[in-house]
Amino acid sequence: MASVDMRTTLVVLYGGRSAEHDVSRVTAAHVLRAVDHSAFRVIPVGISRDGEWSIDESLVALLDAGAHGLPAELTVGGASTSSSIIASSAAAGQVVVMPLLHGPLGEDGTIQGLLEVLDVPYIGSGVLASAAAMDKGIAKVILAQHGIPQVEWRTFHVDAISPRIIEEAIDFLGLPLFVKPANMGSSIGVSKAKTHEEVRDAVAKAATYDEWIVFEEAANGREIEVAVLGNLRPEASIAGEIIPSREFYDYEDKYVIDGARLEVPAQLDDEASSEVRRLAIRAFSALRCEGMARVDFFYEENGRGFLCNEINTIPGFTPISMYPKLWQATGVSYSELVEKLVHLAIERHSRKRRNTDR
């Protein structure tokens, strides 16, 4: 494993232009608290909803003092800057970027592409895996090609969705069904539709977030999640379970009312636990993920078994989020997890440069 230089600068990107901007700010605040400040010089870089990059100098001062007194969520503001801050930091020594930008224009390969051009190591999956995992329709095609079990689905461009297409989707998937924007996370824009009229309304809602729409069979199963960590030889955490307080685990349940219950470890027998961990690694590898991802499943105990729902390449990272909680229960602390991710970013960058530097 590549070593982390004591001069390593960790640039934490947060905020962003997607509907998950607020979630990202909360995530970043917790990461800044957990980082080992004796090992890393941390630079928080916020991206506004308008796409402007900035460093909050007051946060830098707090971090230099040991991160005491950090707010519960970070603001986006301060001295105006741009992605050049990353390039200038790299010139001064080892730099690693930690993108905590949930959703489009952050989790979908766009920021990853910028960082590749800047030739800077970064935490998480590369351009291809980020883009493929972000697009639920494309991810499902790839997972199906690799024989990973899923619920039934159909994906359409919004311009192609007609009353006839809706009827055909209902005939194939049944009611209720889920309607989702293909490129969005945190259950934003997701609806569980029980009638023909609700399906039409759900399409209109999803279309405000993305032009590609996924129709998905409603599974009747437990919600099981597994955290994966690694590059070419990924490892899976123990499994956890989400028990929603609402009809499904929607945005309100995740971030507003905080009503869902997280059970770690999930109540699974040894065989089921081993199976879901193997499936998580298979899904991670099928999409060519690296660094980290959370793989979500439905578990139909008396039916089809584990069904892969989706892969999140930049999972929530607060101390109460499932990804770090799963690793903590597996024996990796929050701060150790961040350090492992930095090691993995440096290792992958070094390996890839061997293939591109001629």
CATH of residue 177's domain is 3.30.1490.20
Give the helix/strand (H/E) hosting 305: strand 305-312
β-pairing, 235-243 vs 261-263, is antiparallel
Is 103 found in the same domain as 79? yes
Rounded to the nearest integer, the mean pLDDT of the chain is 87
Give the helix/strand (H/E) hosting 48: none
For residue 227, pLDDT over 80 is answered with yes
| pLDDT value for 91 | 54
pLDDT digits (tens, 9 = 90+) for 231-278: 999 999 999 999 876 565 544 544 444 667 899 999 999 999 999 999
Contacts of 317 (CB under 8 A, 6+ apart): 27, 30, 31, 100, 323, 324
For residue 342, pLDDT over 70 is answered with yes
For residue 305, pLDDT over 70 is answered with yes
Q: What is the CATH number of the domain that holds 265?
A: 3.30.470.20
Domain residues for the domain of 299 are: 133-149+220-313
Share of the chain above pLDDT 70, in %: 82
How many whole angstroms separate alpha carbon 217 and alpha carbon 174? 7
- From the list 160, 147, 151, 153, the residue with the least C-alpha distance to 179 is 153
Two tokens, residue 42? 């941390």
| pLDDT value for 55 | 83
Q: How many domains does the chain have?
A: 3
Is 141 found in the same domain as 282? yes
3-state secondary structure of 134: helix
Is 51 found in the same domain as 183? no
CA angle (345, 350, 352) in 5-degree steps: 95
Judge whether 64 lies within some domain: yes
How many whole angstroms separate alpha carbon 70 and alpha carbon 341? 23
Is 139 found in the same domain as 107? no
pLDDT digits (tens, 9 = 90+) for 168-208: 999 999 999 999 999 987 678 899 999 999 999 999 999 99
How many whole angstroms separate alpha carbon 165 and alpha carbon 175? 15
Is 197 found in the same domain as 77? no
For residue 63, pLDDT over 90 is answered with no
Which is higher by pLDDT, 82 or 220? 220
Is 111 found in the same domain as 50? yes
Cβ–Cβ under 8 Å, residues 341 and 349: no
| pLDDT value for 147 | 97
Judge whether 346 lies within some domain: no
Please report, for residues 73, 97, 111, 155, the alpha-carbon distance to residue 342 in angstroms, rounded to integers and kept in the order given. 23, 9, 17, 36
- From the list 310, 289, 10, 234, the residue with the least C-alpha distance to 124 is 289
What is the largest distance, in Å, between two alpha-carbon atoms of the chain? 62
User: Which residues does residue 179 pair with via DSSP β-bridges, in sequence order?
Assistant: 191, 215
Is 196 found in the same domain as 65? no
| pLDDT value for 25 | 87
- From the list 78, 126, 69, the residue with the least C-alpha distance to 99 is 126
Model confidence band, residue 83 (pLDDT cutoffs 50, 70, 90): low
Model confidence band, residue 78 (pLDDT cutoffs 50, 70, 90): low
- From the list 101, 145, 109, the residue with the least C-alpha distance to 126 is 109
Q: What is the CATH number of the domain that holds 18?
A: 3.40.50.20
pLDDT digits (tens, 9 = 90+) for 20-57: 888 888 888 888 887 888 888 888 899 988 888 888 76
